[in-house]
């Protein structure tokens, strides 16, 4: 939205953005800082804001803990869960946004129920199910479970985005003889691209960060990054902040890269705008 506006206005906006950036980035800076402090300086008073970096924490996690395998696990699982959730949730969102049918409201509400209680409370039954299916310590198990958490999220977001697509477009397609599938795949999906990307990013992040089920359902082969991270939150016998911070820094990296890659989908003006105009 380019528009003429007063310079005061511009300055105010600019200030707001700067404040937001400082607010957002300084804890991240401190996280990084903590990861490069040696154990002697971590508990120092007053706290230091600049240090000569010591990479002992990173060395520890790379060589002693070999954490990269857990990161690969996390990535595979998060990616798989996201895809699955988008497919299942997306198809349902289309139905909700396009048609009316008996029981629509209650069904919608019922679908959201899955996100209303802490996951930990269904831990035991789900664990028993996974055990029964012989899927303990596998990637598939977590993909299936995480997708089930994300489906309501996808449903909620995509239903909203899908209903933003003007009726006329789909109606004219039906008149031309298209089937609902064609309308869904060729018309609605491309137009709601930014919504799908947003939903996908959120699913991915959530699956990436999930902890309780990963802890309980994995032990060696499918252990994920958050579980390893949580291993270091305790400071009972030793101070583990350095390693924790280093792991934290690493946890952000891959998702950031992934997101940067997808960011071009967030650029304005793709298709939808042209159509509406």
Partner 1 sequence: MANSTHSGSTSFLRNPTLLFLLPMVLYLILWRALPLLYTVFLSLNDWNLVRRPSPTFAGLENYARLLSDTRFHDSLWISFFFMVVATGIQTVLGTGLALATDRGFRGKSFVQGSLLFPMFLTPVAVGSIWYILFQPSIGPINHLMGLVGLPSVIWLGSASTALWAIIIADTWQWTPFIYLLVLSALQGIPETVVEAAQIDGASGYVIIRRMILPLISGTILVAALLRAMEAFRVFPKIYVMTGGGPGRATEASSILIYKTAFRFFEMGYSSAMTIIMLVLLMTAYGFYLRVVRKVSVEY
Partner 2 sequence: MRVTLGKWKVLLGALLLLAVLWIPAGAGQSKYAGVTLKVMLPKGFTESEPVYDILVEAGKILGTDVKVSWYSMDELHDKTLIDFTAGNKAWDILLVHSPSRGKWADMGVIEPLGKYIAEHPNVVDKAKLALDDYFDISIRNYTHKGVWLGPPLYVTGVALFYRTDLFNHPEEKKNFRAKYGYDLKEPATYKEFRDIAEFFTRKKGETLAGSVLAADFYGTSHSNKPVGFLWHDFINYLMAFGADDVYDPKSMRPTINSPQAIEAGKFYVELAKFQPPGHLNYTSGESTAVFAQGSVAMIVEYFLRVADMGMNPAKSKVADKIAFTVLPSVPGVKGREHAAHHGGNVLSLYGLSPNKEAAYKTIELAFSREIMRKVYLEKYVPYGWIPPRPSILNDPEVQKRVPWMKPALAKLMQRKDIFYFELSPLPEYFSAIDSAGSALHKALSGSTTVEKGFGEAQKEAEAVFKKAGYIK
- Please list every residue from 18 through 37 that binds partner 1, using CB under 8 A: 20-21, 23-25, 27-28, 30-31, 34
Residue 175 as a binder of partner 1 (CB under 8 A): the answer is yes
189 binds, among partner 1, partner 2, none (CB under 5 to 8 A by kind): none
The dihedral over CA atoms of 243, 81, 101, 170, expressed in degrees to the nearest 10, equals 100
Give CA 187 to chain center in angstroms: 26
Site stretch for partner 1 (CB under 8 A), options 54-62, 64-72, 75-83, 177-185: 177-185
Among 7, 113, 237, 261, binds partner 1 (CB under 8 A): 113
Q: Round to whole Å and give the CA distance between 250 and 67.
A: 10
Contact set for partner 1, span 190-229 (CB under 8 A): 194-195, 197-198, 201-202, 205, 208-209, 211, 225-226, 229
Q: Which is nearer to partner 2, 60 or 98 (CB)?
A: 60
Cα separation, 263 vs 105, whole angstroms: 34
H helix or E strand, kind and range, residue 64: none
Count of CA atoms in the C-beta half-sphere (13 A) of 156: 14
Q: Which does 8 bind (CB under 5 to 8 A by kind): partner 2, partner 1, none?
A: none
CA dihedral 52, 57, 59, 65 (to 10 degrees): 180
Closer residue to partner 1 in complex, CB, 2/63: 2
Minimum CB distance to partner 2, residue 13 (Å)? 39
């Amino acid at each position: 939205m380019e528009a003429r506006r007063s310079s005061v206005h511009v300055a105010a906006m600019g200030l707001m953005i700067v404040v937001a950036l400082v607010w957002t980035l300084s804890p991240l800076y401190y996280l990084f800082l903590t990861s490069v402090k040696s154990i002697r300086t971590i508990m120092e008073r007053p706290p230091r804001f600049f240090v000569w970096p010591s990479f002992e924490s990173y060395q520890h996690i790379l060589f002693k803990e070999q954490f990269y395998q857990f990161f690969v696990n996390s990535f595979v699982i998060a990616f798989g869960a996201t895809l699955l959730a988008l497919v299942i949730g997306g198809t349902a969102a289309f139905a909700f946004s396009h048609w009316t049918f008996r029981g629509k409201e209650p069904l919608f509400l019922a679908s959201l129920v899955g996100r209303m209680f802490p996951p930990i409370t269904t831990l035991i039954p789900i664990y028993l199910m996974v055990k029964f299916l012989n899927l303990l310590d596998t990637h598939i198990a977590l993909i299936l479970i995480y997708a089930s958490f994300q489906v309501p999220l996808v449903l909620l977001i995509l239903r909203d985005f899908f209903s933003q697509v003007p009726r006329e477009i789909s109606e004219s397609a039906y008149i031309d003889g298209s089937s609902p599938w064609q309308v869904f795949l060729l018309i609605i999906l491309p137009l709601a691209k930014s919504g799908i990307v947003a939903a996908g990013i959120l699913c991915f992040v959530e699956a990436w960060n999930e902890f309780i089920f990963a802890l309980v359902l994995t032990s060696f082969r499918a252990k994920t990054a958050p579980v390893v991270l949580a291993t270091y939150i305790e400071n009972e016998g030793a101070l583990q902040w350095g390693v924790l911070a280093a792991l934290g820094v690493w946890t952000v990296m891959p998702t950031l890269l992934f997101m940067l890659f997808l960011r071009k989908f967030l650029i304005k003006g793709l298709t939808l705008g042209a159509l509406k105009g």
